[in-house]
Each structure stands twice: as structure tokens, then as C-alpha cells.
Structure 1
Amino acid sequence: MHFDPVDFKHIYIALRKQLRRVTVVQCAKYSTLKDCRSALDPLCGWCVKTQRCSTHDECLNSSWVSIPKDSLQTELLSFQVAQKSSTELFHSPPQITLHLALSLESTENPAFSCVFSSGSVNLCNGSALTAVFPKCSCNFSDQLINTKGLKVSTTVTVEDQKITKNLTLTNCSSITDNSPNVSYTQCVQCISSGCHWSSSSQRCDWTQGSEPQLNIQDACKDLLSEYKEPEILSLEPHKVSFHGRNSVLLRGRNLDSVTKIRIQGDLDCIAKESPVLNRSSDTLVVNIPPSETKGKVKMCVVTPDNRCHGNSIITYSSQPRCTGVQPRNSWRSGGRKIHVQGTNMEYVESVIAQPSNKVLESLYDASSGGMWFYSPRYEGSGQLSFSLNVGNSTVDCVHDFSYKPDPVFTEFTTLQVANDLQVNIQKKADMLNLSMSEVNVMGDQIYQCVLERIEFNAIICIIKGQSGVDSITITIGSYAVMMGRAKFCLNPHNTLG
């Protein structure tokens, strides 16, 4: 392979029977400044005039914002926190300075601004805020940082492009104490919190000035030998559709310091990342991002020092396909078990009922490969439709699910059969086609009535070892009805009169 000597944006590849000229630049596929920068392509940058990702020669007479050529900084946004003493502020209360820097450079000086907010409150205004591309800073009272830290929402605007990031600011001096058992984790936490780690005193403190902080690996490398690296033991589930999956459980060891997961296929130039949603020392809850292709990819867990640990496999497969549901109707009170027919049902996360847009929990049966859910209560009219929720996408399922009135029971009679009590329940004819597994009958709310059969206009069941009941309760899904004292029947043919 040889680069085109004219523009270096193409290569010539010698094949067996031809010479092919292939582009190596795909800037146009990135639609935002953030995505353009995340590509880490030295030939791509954001053209302010055309508002698109392009090469430098395609962006004339305009600011061209790109990754610094001489920078090893891979994070787009970095921050530091410094403390100004009361002496520096002429006996005013101590203040914290938050320094923010973008790993970007520009051929000109683009419009640039920063906004720092905590909740609905703007953290700094006026002279407390300075912004000169690609850096900005903000001063605020140190009393705003409590023991739980201060959550700050940051919005950086470069011309029309917005970059947002949520930060948690911590009192640097409280990150670690003077204990002799200083750990690598404490050092990493210190540096990643924008603070300064002193190797001589082995403690965390506020950053001095606004100079770029040391790389975490360099600042903490002497403590690395004591560090227990995170391990991945299992991922449940490890097979997903190419739409991805939400709330996947990862089990392992030493997971306290993990901040995100990283997924990369053999042919992917850029890895996909997903933050940790919930954690403990041995479990993490994460979302698996979607994939453009099917197949196996490698997954690792990432710590604040940007190191990746472990090597687990995720398999991306086809999306679920729904061919129908059984049964196709329900009583209005809901609670009927509806079986979904189709393929790849294990990738379904939930069912969405329309037009109410209600999310219903779905349950997968590994033994049969099927999936089912309970019909919701329905107060409207007409038919319902269902779709399957898969990752952040939906798959159509059925559009002609109907609701019928709740079953109507008119009376019940009892008949003594040897030592048992037969209960005959009369009901109005309906179109529900109730099955034995859907009906539950209790005598006096404590005696189970075992179903014998369901007829068009009757339900017949047996209460073992009883001679009489004052009431029966019939439960069908979410619908329940209680009927009062029985009318005793002496019909020896066990039929309803």
C-alpha cells in the first residue's frame, strides 16, 4: 500500500489484477464536533463555516477545530480544582477555582463560552468566570463543597457546538488521610478528581496554579505494585441483539474503581464506551451499546487511569422477530398470560402497549425459548397493539389484540360427593376461552377448589375433605369476585340445573 503523494487522503493498493485507489478519510460520517474529535483522526477537524467534519483543505476561510498534533491527551475534556486562600483574596472567605480545558486547537479564534451550574443555580457569573479558547475557569466559595462533594453540570460551547459533562468536585484534602497504607486507588482518585498527588508526602491536596496535571499513570506508577486489578467473572446476559441491551449485570472482583466499560470488535477503529449505572465491590450494572454488525466483540472494564482490565466476550446477534401472540384477547381487568411467538425472544427487555405507551415486564423461558407477559388493565375501547423493547429500539409485534368484558358469574351451588364438596359455578357465555391454568377458586378464602373442567357457561371444581362453604372467591388474572352463601343442590347427576 502506498499513500497518494498529492493529498495523503488516499492509498493505492496493488491487488492481483488491478490497482485500486481507496480513500482513508471518512470525516463526513461524523455529525458533531464531539464525534469528529472522538474519531482521533489527525486529518479530520470541525469546520465552523460549513458546520461539518472535514479535512483542513476542505475548510477555507474558517476556523478549523481539530485534535492537537503534539498532544497525548486522549480525553476531550479535563479539569482541575485549586484553592485560593483568604490571604490571596484580601481576607475574603476561601474560594475554589475550577479550571476546564478542551484538548482541541483551532486555526482561528472561534466563539467560545462555558457555563457551570449546580442544580438550577449558576455556579459563577461575571468576573468569576473566564473563557478563552480552549480553556475556561470559574471561582466559587469552598463552602459549596460538602462531604458528599459538589455535582457540577458543565456546558462548553464552541460556535454552535455544545459539549456537556457532569463533574463531581471533592475536597481534595479529604480524599485520603495520613495512613501509611496509601494505595494506588487513592492516588488515581486524587488525580481524576482534578487534585494534586504529592509523592513525597503521599497525600492528596489542592492543585497549585492552572498548569496541566500529570498523567495518572506517571503520577501513581510507584504505587501500582500494591494495586489489585479488577477482574470480570461473568456477564449476564452475554448475548444481545445488535440493538444492544439495558441494565446488564457484570460480576467480578475489585470493581470499586471501575468507571465504565469498553467494547471493541476486531475491525473497529474506535471502541464504544458505556458508563457504570450501579455498583458494588463485586457487581456492576451497565448498558451494552448497539452495534452496526453482528458477531463477537471484546469487553473490558475501565478505571480512572484509563487502563482496561479483563477480557470478556459479547455476542451481537439478529434482532427479535415477532410472529404473533396467543391468546389474542384478554378480559378488561388484565393479568392474562400472553405468549409471544417468534425468534430470538431472549433479547427482549420489555413489551410496550399502545396507545397507552405502557411498559410491561417480559419474562423469558429458556427451556422453551418463548417469552410472555401479562396483559395490562384496559379502560379504553378498540384494539391494542404491542411492540418489543430491545435496547433503545422497538420491534413491531401485533396490532389486533382485543379486550372483552370481565367474566360474569351469576351464582354457585354445591354438591356433596363422598368426603369432598363439588362446587358448580354458573357464568355467562363469553369469548374468552378460559383455560384451567387461568382460573383460581377458593372456598371461604382458605380452601382450594381444584378445577375439574370449564364449560361454556360453567366452572366445576372440587374442595377436598369439606362439607360446605359460605362463600367462594374466583380469581382470573387481575380480576377477582366473591360470591356469598351457596344454594345447596342434591342433584345426583353432578350437572347444573
Structure 2
Amino acid sequence: MILLPGLLLVLWGEPGRCLEEKEENGGFTFDGDIRHFAVAGDAVFVATEERLYQLSHDLTLIQSLTQRGVFTAGHQTQEAVFTRVPETEERNATLRVNVLLPLVADRSLVSCGVIECGYCEVLDLRNISHVRYREHILVGSPWSSSASVAFLVDVEQRKTETYILTATQHELPRSSCFFAREAVKLHNSNEGQGGSIFSLIGEFTTSSIQRIKGSAEFVDGFQIDLNIYLFANLPAGDNSNNRVRLIWLEGKTNKKETLQSLRGATLRVSGGGARSRLVASAVVPGGPPVLWSGVFSVDGGRTDTRLLLFDISPDLSVAADADPDFCSACPPAGGRGAPGGPTLQPTAVLLKQSFMTSVLAVRQKAWMVFFIGTGDGQLIKLAVDQNYRALCPRVLYRADGDRQVFPRMLLDQVDLKHVYLPLQNQMKRVPVSRCSSHASVQACWSAQDPFCVWCGSRRSCTFEDDCQDSDWISVPEDSQPKMVSYKVVKDGGGGGVGRLTLVIQTHLTVGREARANFSCQFTSSSSELCSPQSPPAQFPQCTCVLSNGTLPAEGRTVTLTLRLGSTELSEQLHLSGCSDIRGPPTSVLCRRCVAAGCGWSQNACSWAAAGPEEGDVCRMESGMNFSRPEISSIAPSVVSFYGRNHAVLSGYNLGAVTGVRIRADTDCAPRESPVWNNVGVELTFHIPGADNKGAVSVCVLLPDGSCHGNATITYQSAPSCTDVVPSCSWISGNRENLTYDTPAADRNTGSSSVFLKVANETLACSTAMTYYPDPEFTSFTSTRTGDGVRITLQKKADRLQMSPAEVSVWGVEEGRSYPCIMEAKESSNETDFFICEIQQTPNAKFQHLRVNIPVQEREMKY
């Protein structure tokens, strides 16, 4: 549980207003939740429950249409009329859009869904208020279920024809409008395809794909060249587990033969159980091979999700239309044999993180870049190199609340530099990178962002196409921990004597001009470092044959200056004789050996394996004698992504702990916090802020750098202040609301703004605090009621909206005070009446009252 954060009020000279922070990213808020959206060139189309929007690529509104109106269908002609009417007129039907597809070549937008039955419109792509065609027909799912997909496919006949492929959940309930066993269909997209628009009729007959038994939850589909891919979850049946199936189709012939070309495969989820299912999907551009990424729920819920990479290149050796789950030319019931087809294993597990809901994949040179949406409103970027090694994920956007990201995201087709991020009723346009935030060439490279280059002519970090010449530097094609690495190599020689060579390796991708102007310069305190026999520099490597064939025992410091085009880089190197680095085999000695450009082998530093090592070569016991610490608890263990000051960690053997390390699920650079007030079983530390929401692991550091214990801290959305009740106070202040008092106002100030104090951050509330004059009580009356006295207290009417709970009243008689129990409040145009009763006072007349509100206490006489 998060404790209620502090509240601040800041006084302003002008009336307060809604203080929601302006978004850095462009965005648009709709009248309802997003159902479908599509991108076509420089336009974005969004369907909500009741409206259809046309936006420019930067999310500026062009126009919107209501999806409500009057629907009638002719019984004889079967023609449908859906007339949109003004907002003020009566409306009795809503078009719930389930298919939204731009046909760019025809300059049209297909919008299909359900009013009372199926209904489709063909709209002008440039002006959605212009309806080109409409028909009462079902295309796509008749329900609002997400278990269906629709996309355009090309089929090569006498000429290439474009059809609308729909895949819907099987075994839908019967209704008066529709019931069909077909799972996958091909609809015409225009009137010249052997039937009317939206017709299922092919060149010879109508055909489809059916689910042989049970239901299918379709998640995604797309086409690459003339191969069509469909993905579906098959729910568990009797004595079976959930399965994720891939369908291949060949779009090389007519409708019928396209659908009968189906082949299938099963996707195996690493570590998945009976409830594993596919959540979202994205194909990686480029290939072959055909690489595809899927977000899988391992536990069937949201807490254990994984991003997996598969090679889904079609296996044409599998017999066509012989799948155990789907069929086009379907045999009689029970005619299918045992399950067949290949089982595909993931090529790589790219990311394990809770609450992933969507994914978009792009190529950038040799890199794959994945944009991942989450159920708690984050957009995460993950770069993966050509060896399928993932870098540290970066958070590009983080919503204030926990609005779930829509299962589908798309790229801005105009500049290819922004991702459209749908969040419930909002669409954000988020940059794929913030290159300009990196101020130096080292920072630009260290960001490990394949979209960014250091532009030498502009001396800034930017997108490559914003660098006007070829004088640029970027990250290499594979992930590397350093921009420059080096090793000292000793040639063989008699009597242990050999030549020492310093080899420099740069880990960069560079433009043509930077490559052509590549040079290395070595300087040292000695008069001459490199022998004249040293070979010339040739990108990406340069070599220095040391003039003196030995290195001093204390080592030698060398300054390396690299020039690439107009950019100059400088590195300090410390060279040591590898055989001179001696001592007990500890992780500290190993790291010293590797840092010197030597090799660590068989628990010793040597020339034999000289060069930078990878992996866990230096992970070993430290040799220091400490009791192993244990963590029992952390309080608080759930915090906002702003972190928390003064958290308490409890456990055992904590006396030698020097810090607390916090690491996310991915193998990224951890964050560390110092500790204080360490009493051996308890210590205090600050929980740092985080970019990501979700759980992180915690361990405690010892002086040798080792980390022990395993606890969890969960980062979640920051508290948000959406309202303050009451949102006004009297000028003198101290009007209580929940856990804070309003401060007094300057007499010239009409309002103040309210803020939440969270850790080291200050968050604005959306409601200002308005100040009005102090309440003015004018008179009272008293009436005997049996053993008690009823008091009616009068106050001038004002805008404070005071409640009875804010007023305390005592009757005063002969120096004694008797509490008056507040019962009600009544109001007229000019007066507020507060009614209370003083009980069991048979003789008191109470001509004297004491009235108390938090700001004041006053006495009144009858």
C-alpha cells in the first residue's frame, strides 16, 4: 500500500485552472474508447463507439462523423440506409465498426460493422463524409470481440486482385441476422471481381476456411509477397492445453485455390504451460528469413508475458489442406487424422516483463527495433542486434495512469519517425528516438540507439537523414559495451622475448567521409611509443608496434586520439605486462587483467589469450570474509515510479552492507543507493525513481562488489489528484479536507493551486482551490423539545458549500458549555440554517452560544 503523499498549495494572483501538464508528445483525445484505427499515407482514421475521425498524420483533426443515426432496411430490395442525423435530433442506432481498411489505390476507406445486422460503407479516403457505396452485409465479426482480424491480401490471377480477408471466431451464437461456420473468408474489394463488392463468390464458387471443432481466437494476420499468415489461439478442450496456431496461405491463384492452399504449424512457447496464449504480434520487415515477434501470456493472464522471436518462413513440404484444426475442402465429420504439421521453436526470447499488450517491429540497418505497449500505459523500445542480443529496454512514453495500450500500434508513414500509440480514448504520436537529448559523441554512441548518429558537420546527435553529408558515426551492427577496445599481443620469440603490439578495435558504423578520413595517434610520456614498422590505420582497426619490446612493471599510460572525418575521439589506455599482473585469483584481479588488454585463462593473467573477454569470465568468489546477508522485508515495497525517500530494509547480517542494488528483469545496468542508519538487522536507503513500471529485484552490496539477497520492489503509476472536495476555502484558511488543511490566503489572492508531493517530485492537481470571504453567522433561535433544546443557527448564504460536519456549536449557561449535536442544514436564497440539539438540559434556556469552525471561534447572544 502506498501511503498518502503530502499535499502542497501554491498561491497565485490569478484564478487557478486545470493544471494538467502539457504533453511533450502530440496527441488527440476522442469522445470514447478506440475500437479500430488505420493509417494511410498522411491520414489517420479512428473509429470509436459512436464516431469516426479523420486526422492528419500529426493528429490534427480534419473531420469527424457521428456513428449514430436512423437505420432502415428494405425487405424486398435488401438495401440498407443508415442516415446520420444531427446531434440534437433523435437517434436510434449505432454503427459499431469492426473493420476499418484503407484502399489506397482506390482512394477509398472500407468501414464495416454492426448496426442491428451487418452493415458496410465505402467512404472517400480524402473526405470521409462522402459515402461512395453502402450495403446491408456482414463483413468481419458481428460482435465487439477482439477475437477477429481483417486485412487486405493480393491474389495473383490473370492480374493481381486485392481482397478483404476476414478471420472471425468460430461457433458464434445464432441470431436473426447471422450464423455461419466459416472462420476465414475472402471478400471482394470492388465491383469488378466476379461479383459485387463484398461478395464471397470466386471465379467458380464460394469457398472458405472452417474450424473443424471448437472455437478459434484470431489475433493477427498479414501478407508478405504472396504468402499470407494468420495467427490464432485455440482454447483448451477436453484433456488438452491451449495452443497457438499459425496458418500459411499462398495467394498465387483464385479465391478457392488460395484458401485450399492452407498449411499450419504450432508455435511452442518457451516455458509456457497449459494456459499460454498469444496476445499481440508484429512481423519484422526484411528477410528472408521471415522473422516474426509475438507477445505471449505464459500464465494466461497479464503478470507473466514474454516477447518471443520466431522464424515463420512457410514450410511448403507440409501437405496442403490437411491441417488437424482448419480445413477448406472439409472431409466428413471425424475424417481428419492425428495432428500434424511442424512445431516451431522460438529463435530468441527477447524480453520478459509483466503486462505487455502490443508490439510493433521495424528494421534500422542491421538492427531490429521493437516498440512494446503495456497494460499500465508504457511504450518501451527494445533494440536487438543481428545476433538476436537485446539491449537495455528504454521507456519512450509513460502515461500518468494505467490506461492499457491498444493491441495494435502503427508507424507514421510520412516521416517514419513516430509511433501511433493508442491508449483507451487517446492517441499519442511518440518519437521513435530523442537523439537530440545526447549532447556529445560519447553520449550519442552510449545510448545504443540505431536511429541516432553523431553528425560531425552539425556537431550534434540526430537522425541520419538529418545529417546533410556522410560525416557521421553510429553504433555497430552488433551490441558492444565500449566504443573502443584494445589488446596487447606478444609475438612468439626465443628465450621468452617477443614483439609487443597494441591493437585498437573501434566498434562503430560510419559514413563514407568519416571512413575515408580515419586516423589514429598514440602519445605517451616516453619519447617514442610506436615503431616505424607499425602498419597504417585502416578502419575499423589501428595497430601500434611498441618500440620498446617491454612494458614497465607499473604499466604505461597511453593517450589514443581517433579522427573520423571531422570528429575527434580521445581515450586513455593503461598498458601493463600481462605476466606482471599477479595475485590470488579473485574477481578484482581478473577485472584488472581484462582492463589492461590482457587475457584471463586458467585463473591467471597471461599473454596467451590477450584481448577483451566477454560473458562472466570475472564472476567468482571475492575471497573476502563476510557473513552472507539476507533480506527479510522492504517497507514500502510498492512505490510510484518517482521512487520513495527513507525506505527501510530489514534482514540479517546487514552490518557490512554498503549499498542497495536495484535491477529490472532485463540484464541492464542496475541502480545503486547508499545506506545509512545500518544497525545490522535494519538499514535506511532511498528507492530511486524508475522509467519502467513493474517489479524489480533488490539485493544488498558488500565491499567486494558482490550482491546478496533477493527481494522485490514494485513500481506503479504515480498518485494522481483529479479533484479536491470541497474545492474552495474561506480566506482565513484551515478548512479541513481529508488529511490536510488549506493555508490562509493573501487578501489580494482569489485562488491557489493544489499539488501532490511524491518523493522528490511535485504533481499538479486538476482542481484549483478558490478562496471566498469567511462565513458570517448572524443569529440563532432556541426551542424546547422535551428534555432538550433545538438550536437553529443562521448564516448568510455564500459559495462555501459548508457541511454540518464543519460547524461545532455549544450552548453556554452559567459558565458551563453543553455540546449541540448537529443534525441538518437547510438553505434559502439568502440564509443557511444549521440545526442541532442539546440533549438532557431541562432547565437551561441557552441565550448564549459558542460557534466554532476551524478558522474561527465566536460567541453569539440571543
Find the structure with the greater CA-based Rg.
2
Q: TM-score, normalised by structure 1?
A: 0.47
